[in-house]
Amino acid sequence: MRLLLIPFIFVALSGCHKEAANQAAPTAEAGPVKGVDRSHKGAPAPTATFTDPDGNETRLAEFSGKPLLLNLWATWCAPCVKELPTFDRLAADEKGVAVIAVSQDSGPHASVEAFLASHKIVNLAAYQDMKSGLSGALGPDAVLPTTILYDASGKEVWRYVGDLDWTSPEAAKLLAEAGGPSKNPEHPPVDRGQAEGDQRQPGKILRRQSLAEEQPAKQDRDRRHQQGH
């Protein structure tokens, strides 16, 4: 009898329960240890598509050019819902990092929008990975919730397994690893020839400045010389 109770107790103690059998992503409590995971550092962002707030297909590559913080969550995941308000505040306050939360719910898109509205989540748009293509591409250890930081070139920096207060000092320290935005090719190019010429020949620049400064002094000496005669 005791042997039969053991698996039952284990299931009962797990945190996030799946609402339906077709929910593919496992939960943090049933998978890897909660905390920072750097084992995927340097891996490129997956190319799998998911749905944007307008119902169109999009990819993580659409957010390239600046660091990206990606959160995988679901309405039926208690730790996800617990951290969601702090992630929402981060989305409002964080300027150097793009912040998105992608729902893993398989239900209608309108239900995700309604859930966000009912929980007063106003800064996170309703992205959805209805077919779990994105979470599946991230590997079997992409449990819920999982939050992944990508640098501006689309390479993974770290992933955080489990819930976190994203307004806490711990979160701020982790986000400091994001780095800066990549150079925008649309900005006017720098005149590299002139800039490099200035760097290659600093002596000539200084010499031109010194000659300009000497010119008034020479003219003054000439005037005094003529007055003396």
Q: What CATH code is carried by the domain that includes residue 146? A: 3.40.30.10
Q: Are 85 and 124 in contact (CB under 8 A)?
A: no
Average pLDDT over residues 99-109: 97
Average pLDDT over residues 46-56: 97
The span from the CA of 70 to the CA of 53, in Å, is 15
Is the pLDDT reported for residue 111 higher than 70? yes
Predicted confidence (pLDDT) per residue in 167-220, tens digit: 999 999 999 999 878 654 443 333 323 333 333 333 332 333 334 444 555 555
Q: Which has the higher per-residue pLDDT, 96 or 226? A: 96
Q: Quick one: CA torsion of 205, 207, 210, 214, rounded to 10 degrees?
A: -140
Q: Output the pLDDT for position 41.
A: 97
One domain for residues 153 and 215: no
Is the pLDDT reported for residue 75 higher than 80? yes
Average pLDDT over residues 81-88: 98
One domain for residues 150 and 50: yes
Confidence band of 113 (pLDDT split at 50, 70, 90)? very high
Q: Output the pLDDT for position 33.
A: 87
Predicted confidence (pLDDT) per residue in 128-146, tens digit: 999 999 999 999 878 999 9
Q: Which among 29, 62, 50 has a CA at the least distance from the CA of 137?
A: 50
> How many CA atoms lie less than 13 Å away from 36 in the CB half-sphere?
12
The span from the CA of 78 to the CA of 164, in Å, is 12
* Residue at 185 is within a domain: no
Is the pLDDT reported for residue 90 higher than 70? yes
Q: Output the pLDDT for position 181.
A: 81
One domain for residues 215 and 131: no
One domain for residues 59 and 92: yes
Is the pLDDT reported for residue 27 higher than 70? no
What is the chain's mean pLDDT, rounded?
78
Is the pLDDT reported for residue 157 higher than 90? yes
One domain for residues 30 and 133: yes
Q: Which among 160, 168, 170, 150 has a CA at the least distance from the CA of 34?
A: 160
Computed from CA positions of residues 35, 41, 43, 47, in that sequence, does the dihedral angle turn out positive or negative?
A: positive
Q: Output the pLDDT for position 183.
A: 59
Give pTM, 2 decimals. 0.69
One domain for residues 164 and 215: no
* Overall domain count for the chain: 2
Q: Output the pLDDT for position 172.
A: 96
Domain span including residue 133: 11-178
CB neighbours of residue 77 within 10 Å? 29
One domain for residues 223 and 123: no
Is the pLDDT reported for residue 34 higher than 50? yes
Q: Output the pLDDT for position 32.
A: 73
